[in-house]
């Protein structure tokens, strides 16, 4: 129930953000970014779509949705907001991001897994390639905020070993047009 509420609320925010008008609308550039990769920004193992809105030559806002699979625990969804800094046509562009959706996989019994939803924040580096900078490799360093180990134990009703910690890596290919 909470997952559906979060996704609905963040979807409404993304829809509102993508329809915001700026006084000089002709200065805003919109790009569609389709990606595939591993990690929270790509639905664990999956694909993503970002509506990149370059508000200036050096700043962009990108509402993002992703769907994928955790392989072990089933389907995954992510809704996020990315902020990109640096010249839009440079080789390197850095940013920060916020994600809500599947970010934890827990083994509940031998060979049985469950996915849990929560909030994640991150920093990222976009390596833009090609003459039009339409191809990129995105690298994300992410910190899982929720659920923490105590929340996982309360939800499942038993203790868990926190393997891997709460800092994760995401890597993927993104095509911009």
Question: What percentage of the chain carries pLDDT values higher than 70?
Answer: 81
Domain boundaries, given as residue ranges, for the chain: 2-176
Residue 138 main-chain phi, psi, to 5 deg: -105, 130
For 92, the token pair is: 């390197």
- Please write the tens of the pLDDT for every residue from 133-165: 999 999 999 999 988 777 777 777 766 665 668
pLDDT of residue 176: 96
Residue 35 main-chain phi, psi, to 5 deg: -130, 160
Global pTM value? 0.80
Judged against a pLDDT cut of 80, whether residue 171 lies above it is answered with yes
pLDDT of residue 153: 73
Confidence of residue 15 (pLDDT cuts 50, 70, 90): low
The rounded Cα 85 to chain-centroid distance in angstroms is 16
pLDDT of residue 175: 98
- Please write the tens of the pLDDT for every residue from 64-84: 999 999 988 889 999 999 999
In angstroms, the CA 54 to CA 32 distance is 11
Let me know the angle formed at the C-alpha of 160 by 145 and 115, rounded to the nearest 5 degrees.
60
Q: Does domain 2-176 have CATH number 1.10.10?
A: no
Q: From residue 78, how far is each of 4, 21, 34, 109 by CA, in Å?
A: 11, 25, 14, 25
In angstroms, the CA 18 to CA 51 distance is 7
Confidence of residue 85 (pLDDT cuts 50, 70, 90): very high
Confidence of residue 10 (pLDDT cuts 50, 70, 90): low
């Amino acid at each position: 129930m909470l997952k559906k509420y979060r996704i609905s609320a963040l979807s409404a925010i993304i829809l509102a953000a993508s329809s915001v008008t700026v006084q000089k609308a002709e200065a805003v550039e919109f790009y569609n970014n389709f990606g595939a990769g591993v990690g929270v920004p790509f639905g664990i193992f999956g694909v993503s779509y970002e509506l990149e809105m370059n508000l200036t030559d050096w700043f962009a806002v990108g509402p993002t949705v992703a769907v994928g699979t955790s392989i072990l625990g089933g389907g995954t969804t992510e809704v996020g907001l990315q902020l990109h800094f640096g010249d839009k046509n440079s080789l390197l562009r850095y940013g920060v991001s916020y994600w809500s959706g599947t970010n934890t996989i827990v083994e509940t019994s031998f060979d049985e897994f469950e996915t849990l939803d929560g909030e994640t924040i991150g920093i990222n580096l976009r390596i833009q390639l090609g003459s039009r900078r339409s191809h990129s490799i995105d690298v994300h360093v992410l910190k899982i905020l929720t659920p923490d180990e105590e929340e996982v134990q309360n939800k499942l009703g038993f203790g868990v070993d926190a393997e891997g910690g709460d800092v994760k890596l995401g890597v993927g290919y993104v095509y911009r047009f």
